[in-house]
Amino acid sequence: MYPFAVVTVVVLSLVSTGGLASPLIKRASTCTVKSQRKAWENLTSAEKTAYINADVCLMAAPPAAGVPGAKNLWDELTYTHAAQSDYIHNVGAFLPFHRYYITAHATLIRSVCGYTGPLPYWNEPANVGALDGAAIFDPRVGFGGDGTGSSRCITDGPFAKTVLRIKEDLSTSNYCISRGLNDRSFNSAVQTNVNRCLAMANFVDAWNCIEAKPHSAGHGGVNGVMVNVKLSPGDPIFFLHHGYIDKLWWDWEALKLPARLTEIGGNNTAHGKNNPSFVNYFNDGGSITTLNHVLWSHNLVPNATIADVMDIGGDYVCSEFA
Ligand SMILES: *[C@@H]1O[C@H](CO)[C@@H](O)[C@H](O)[C@H]1NC(C)=O
Ligand SMILES: *[C@@H]1O[C@H](CO)[C@@H](O)[C@H](O)[C@H]1NC(C)=O
Ligand SMILES: *[C@@H]1O[C@H](CO)[C@@H](O)[C@H](O)[C@H]1NC(C)=O
């Protein structure tokens, strides 16, 4: 049932630059059929159910990357984000890393869980001021609703009993998917903020704009696990939120093609952090993010470079917005 999950993968210390066993999933060489990326509201009920079932499947699929304490691939996917948090947020690689990361998730649900449908994103401006009624939180054909009680654990929908494990310090202990829907935080997802970002003239300004307002709105609006900068991918809504953020970057790129397929920049490290082990492995030849920058997922999927992910229709990402 999980044909790739039995492959043994060497445990990799994050700062190690040593060799690796072959990745869980082989890299696709040519893009033949592009994945369709669609707003959640435009999936049929059957497609929504199949997508949710694929996430449920990943949460039950045996771990394969050797993450200590991980019980399934979902834990390992979360670890990949948590372990690199300081080098994938507030840095030039923020948008490229998250494009790589949602592509890794898409690859896993297809390869391990047999998902064949469209890749959904959350059309956030449509829900500003009315988070509670958003289709995405539907308990039957959605991700379940708000958290309740002091723990803010969600109590309805397909993920009500989900056990998450990876902690901020990368140790493990069981916890729930928590949420605390917050319309005030979500207000900055409004279309006027999006338009402001799309009007930016260069990559660094567009990235900073997108990461600040529309990006933080989705995390703060859902709240709970989603507002945790390291652990937010534990809530499956993360992949729809970042599917949307990735669409905004693509919308910006698409305004000037092909020029913006090679526009990149920004610092590799944020907040004065400058761990040489990381800076070296990025392969940028310095502290500024370049197209050569290496994107890494603890070998859940093969390493890629930023150059690989610049074009959503290219061989690596191989998708298009329907
Ligand atoms: C993948 O990237 C990691 C981190 O940069 C690096 O340690 C590793 O050697 C790379 N693996 C391959 C196969 O290039
Ligand atoms: C949903 O589909 C309709 C019909 O194809 C389209 O007009 C609309 O723009 C889509 N909505 C989004 C948010 O993409
Ligand atoms: C990069 O870091 C330097 C030093 O901290 C800072 O002055 C500069 O504004 C940063 N560049 C970007 C694009 O954020």
User: 63: CA distance to ligand 1 center in Å?
Assistant: 20
The length of the chain, given as a count of residues: 322
Q: Is 266 in the pocket of ligand 3 (CB under 6 A)?
A: yes
- Phi, psi (5° rounding) for residue 268? -80, -20
Q: What is the CA radius of gyration of the chain?
A: 18
Q: Is 42 in the pocket of ligand 2 (CB under 6 A)?
A: yes
Residue 163 is which amino acid?
A: V
- Tokens representing 56 are 């449920």
Angle (CA) 139 81 107, round 5°:
70
How far apart CA 25 and CA 306 sit, in angstroms, is 19
Nearest CA to ligand 2 atom 5: 42
Q: Is 163 in the pocket of ligand 3 (CB under 6 A)?
A: no
| Residue whose CB lies within 8 A of the most ligand 1 atoms, among 22, 25, 277, 281, for a mutation test | 281
232 burial (CB, 10 Å; 0-12 / 13-18 / 19+) is buried
Nearest CA to ligand 3 atom 13: 266
Tens of each residue's pLDDT in the chain, 322 residues: 333 332 222 223 333 332 334 555 666 678 999 999 999 999 999 999 999 999 999 999 999 999 999 999 999 999 999 999 989 999 999 999 999 999 999 999 999 999 999 999 999 999 999 998 999 999 999 999 999 999 999 999 999 999 999 999 999 999 999 999 999 999 999 999 999 999 999 999 999 999 999 999 999 999 999 999 999 999 999 999 999 999 999 999 999 999 999 999 999 888 766 666 566 678 898 889 999 999 999 989 999 999 999 999 999 999 999 9
Q: Is 39 in the pocket of ligand 2 (CB under 6 A)?
A: yes
How far apart CA 319 and CA 129 sit, in angstroms, is 31
Q: pTM here?
A: 0.91
* 137 to 63, 119, 126: CA distances (angstroms): 28, 17, 14
- Tokens representing 186 are 């979500």
